[in-house]
Structure 1
Amino acid sequence: MNKGKGLKNGALLLLTAMMGFGIAGCGTTAADKSANTGAAPAPKTEQAAAKTDDKKEDKKLGGKLVVYSAGPKELAESIQKGYEAKTGVKVEMFQGTTGKILARMEAEKANPVVDVVVLASLPSAQGLKKSGLTLEYKNAANADKLVPDWSDKDGHFFGYSASALGIVYNTKQVKTPPKEWSDLAKDEWKGKVNIPDPALSGSALDFITGYLSTKGDGGWELFEQYKKNGVALAGANQEALDPVITGAKSIVAAGVDYMTYQAKAKGEPVDMVYPASGTVISPRPAAILKSSKNQDNAKAFIDYLLSDEAQKMVADTYLLPGRKDVKAKDRASVDQITQMKIDWTWMDTNGDAVTKKFTQMFK
């Protein structure tokens, strides 16, 4: 359960190649019954119309739904089981990073099969919408309770959860943790820091592009200092965290908080700091694809993601719930994390270029 924009060139081809896919229409109309007298059918009463709407809402679902989901694995599986039990729909699930999800979609572009994508980066969903690949769903249940900045106002994607990026450290090796992003360029941390690869981690890309959107070109100086200080590009989020858990490294720069809280709850020697200068909270959006062959099932899946039941699952996984009325569990809440004033539009537009430059810098 873990990018259109901002990932390697292969993912970008997906967006251009899949443009123009039509949306299969759905929906039926019911004819009014009238007496066999040749008279015009009588108009529906409000009560009759309401009954018709109820029947539409209660329409029996069935068949299957194909979902490609970024992690966490246990959350994706819990949501899958809960949705299947509630609807009777069989879910075919592929789990991977946002980069792997988009690469798979590219490989299937001639015959798309996925109905719903759950990504780990808002700009990725923005890119899918911009390329005309997402289906508008304006009447999603509980959408009005979502954090507005995490979702599309036109209903093309829904930020059902979020994670924040911070400085993750091994508590056995680090007694006085660094407090700011710039601290990681100091000699005491030379060769001891990992950073996730923005080509594989949507949240890492959100941090890097978010930081640059606030600092401008001058922001590259920090990452140049990281490179000189031996900061290592270490795969996706879990690959960057694991060496810190084992003690092979001391710190993750732009580490994902929910993974840290999960590991800490299991007794691993890790904790994290959110720099006072600000960080990025990375929404995790879900979107229905226009090419979906199971649109009713897909809409029901979005409804389930935003339900009380699924939002509790989100909180239990140490993610930030997407709904404002659902509390985070045993972790810092949104109002306890200082955020940078980032520009999501800039991040979406410049994600590919930033990824290419960053990965070349750290080769």
Structure 2
Amino acid sequence: MFNLTRNAWKKGSTLVLSLALGAALAGCGSGNASQNTAAPASAENKPAQAADKILTVYTAGPEGLANKLIEEFQTQSGVKVEMFQGTTGKILARLEAEKANPVADVVILASLPSAQGLKNEGLTLAYPEAKNADKLNKDWSDSEGHYFSTSASALGIAYNTKLVTTPPTSWSDLAKPEFKDQVNIPDPSLSGSALDFITGYLSDKGESGWSLFEQYKANGVAMAGANQEALDPVITGAKSVVVSAVDYMTYKAKAKGEPIDIVYPQEGTVISPRPAAILKSTKHEENAKAFIDYLLSDSAQKLVSDAALLPGRTDVKAENRANLDEIPLLTTDWAWMGEHGPVVTDQFTKLFK
């Protein structure tokens, strides 16, 4: 489960432990991301003459954005990219399964603690001279160049605009009688972003923060699968609200004409960065570095913005969503969040089951 994956950042932990249940994770990437966009072939079967013109990328999506990034990079570089797409947990589980014969060159995750864990295990290759790395949000990326958060999402309250005429402005509003039995929350054992929200809220509020979730339970808030599974009933009108909704999914649904919108509570929320890293085992280091340079480029960051995600670069603004300076934030401690992920997941799921 994600609780073990998120604990992988701790020094001295083993990757085997962090991945033990990682394959069950859903919701770290796009809610409808495919498992394989192009299943990578074994490195042993690569023709020698093609070795310098290939790159294998494991990415947590979103699927549409990943495909556009890969297509543009291939066109610009002439490098053929083979891509595996899944959740962060499935990517990490695949890395573990392939550790005797590594295949991936670059990973793009939807979990900052998981990238920290890869670095702490000595599995990432530092690239401090990456182009435009100095323009990245420093809170989301590694100062030594082991991982680069090229995009991020924010968590908020998504609501059906036909059913909710006065949007909530606080997390605590969802414990009020008017929202009785009308709210979904993603399962933190399946959704990395949900765990980000819950641990982030607790890292800001302390132990007293549990009272909010106890009030949610008493008001009939339902734990409803991963992110897309929690959002879909609100789009159809079976429910009214999703708490800890991934904003880019909501923005995309709204752009398609669905009766959905999102607010960020006034007391603050949590940002979920999406880090990319070169694996130390790469056999295509120069291609991998070129891909990181591309992800930090103007054109790639524009694609990130177009996908309704927050750009990783501070000098690039999104045009179709709230920007970082428009989103109130909780005071989060990622180290605390990673360390307490397993306990929080267990306590939360027991409360809601």
TM-score scaled by structure 2?
A: 0.84
Distance 2:13 2:100 in 1: 8
Distance 2:172 2:61 in 1: 29
CA contact (8 A) 1:280 1:339 kept: yes
**1:187 positional shift:** 2.2
Aligned to 2:212: 222
Aligned to 1:203: 193
Unaligned runs of 5+ in 1: 1-5, 21-59
**1:285 positional shift:** 0.9
Kindly provide the CA deviation profile for residues 263-312 of structure 1, in whole angstroms up to 9, marking residues without a partner as x.
11111100011111001111111111222222222111111100111000
Q: Is the counterpart of residue 160 in structure 1 residue 142 in structure 2? A: no
**1:63 positional shift:** 3.0
- Cα distance change of structure 1 residues 248 and 111 upon mapping to structure 2, 3 Å threshold: farther
**Secondary structure of 1:165 counterpart:** strand
**Secondary structure of 2:145 counterpart:** coil
Kindly provide the CA deviation profile for residues 234-263 of structure 1, in whole angstroms up to 9, marking residues without a partner as x.
222222111111111111101011111111
**1:84 positional shift:** 1.1
CA contact (8 A) 1:15 1:131 kept: no
CA contact (8 A) 2:182 2:220 kept: yes
Aligned to 1:293: 283
- Cα distance change of structure 1 residues 299 and 61 upon mapping to structure 2, 3 Å threshold: farther
Matches within 5 A, 1:16-165: 62-165=52-155
Distance 2:270 2:188 in 1: 14
Aligned to 1:348: 338
Distance 1:293 1:200 in 2: 33
Unaligned runs of 5+ in 2: 16-49
CA contact (8 A) 1:18 1:133 kept: no
Look at both structures and tell me which one has the larger radius of gyration over its CA atoms: 1
Q: Is the counterpart of residue 175 in structure 1 residue 165 in structure 2? A: yes
Distance 1:354 1:321 in 2: 29
Distance 2:195 2:202 in 1: 11
Distance 1:10 1:278 in 2: 26
Distance 2:74 2:123 in 1: 25
CA contact (8 A) 1:65 1:92 kept: yes
- Cα distance change of structure 1 residues 239 and 181 upon mapping to structure 2, 3 Å threshold: same
Aligned to 1:7: 2
Aligned CA RMSD, in angstroms, stands at 2.5
**Secondary structure of 1:226 counterpart:** helix
CA contact (8 A) 1:159 1:286 kept: yes
Bigger drift between 270-279 and 6-15 goes to: 6-15
- Cα distance change of structure 1 residues 351 and 10 upon mapping to structure 2, 3 Å threshold: closer
- Please tell me the residue identity of whatever aligns with 1:317: A
- Please tell me the residue identity of whatever aligns with 2:349: T
Distance 1:84 1:16 in 2: 37
Aligned to 2:323: 333
Aligned to 1:248: 238
Bigger drift between 353-362 and 114-123 goes to: 353-362
Distance 1:111 1:235 in 2: 33
CA contact (8 A) 1:14 1:109 kept: no
CA contact (8 A) 1:11 1:103 kept: no
Aligned to 2:295: 305
**Secondary structure of 2:280 counterpart:** coil
Distance 1:62 1:89 in 2: 8
Distance 1:126 1:323 in 2: 19
Kindly provide the CA deviation profile for residues 128-187 of structure 1, in whole angstroms up to 9, marking residues without a partner as x.
222222211111110011111111101111010111110000001111121111111222
Q: Is the counterpart of residue 237 in structure 1 residue 232 in structure 2? A: no
Distance 2:244 2:79 in 1: 37
Distance 1:205 1:294 in 2: 34
**Secondary structure of 2:339 counterpart:** helix
Aligned to 1:360: 350
Q: Percent identity?
A: 67
Q: Aligned residue pairs: how many? A: 320
Aligned to 2:250: 260
- Cα distance change of structure 1 residues 338 and 286 upon mapping to structure 2, 3 Å threshold: same
TM-score scaled by structure 1?
A: 0.82
- Cα distance change of structure 1 residues 18 and 280 upon mapping to structure 2, 3 Å threshold: closer
Distance 1:199 1:88 in 2: 40
